[in-house]
Structure 1
């Protein structure tokens, strides 16, 4: 099999599709990411304790968010914020279905940030939004030059 060369433009397009939250113009260097992933962290007693406390903190946060949603009966600004925060935690835990469900509830309650996150979780929608923003930016720049 031949080694295929991918142009910088192709890399940029793939980056926008699969990593829509990266700042525009940044690219994803797969080799660099793999090297970082395989670098081993020295697991001292302190590092292990920090990891344990982090897991416990997330469990306490989720329980608190569940309780807030229950007390608000799933309505209002507090519920919107709780759904958003719980959705973010679920997203970090790679529970995309649960994250989308919570963020959708938050979006229906008027959460603009939740709406933005839902779009960002859909790489095709994020790419379309970026492309549209680029086109609009070019049109505005062209209009300003004509004035």
Structure 2
């Protein structure tokens, strides 16, 4: 059985543009959970039900209804991050980037930068910041989400890090020379 280090080396050989140690398919984001234990169980049930209905409304294209449902969930449990994250997505779909960023900031803050909602909010905020040409802030969000286990965020952080990109390019060249030593002698 191969060790974690062996799998990381093999990943670097077969996918040299990924950061070292990033093993495809090992996305911890799916395993993350939010700690809702501090909330009243009945209020939590109501808020979650509203969020599920809000997501369904958004998927059906009724963003106004989705926004109302997410806002109701926030009114019930204003200290719970999930509804802010969901409302941010509906706001983004409506073109309200500033409103979406505000809700994502709140979701990250309330989550304590831990758990599934924090990871999702950081990725979404990173994408919005990247689109707004705020690369350093986007990279910081992606790095934080990557630390929580998001493979996508890890890839985005590398893409925004010029030093990592240079290292990956050099590693790719070394691996190509190892794979085909005759071709490198001709250069």
TM-score under structure 2 normalisation? Answer: 0.40
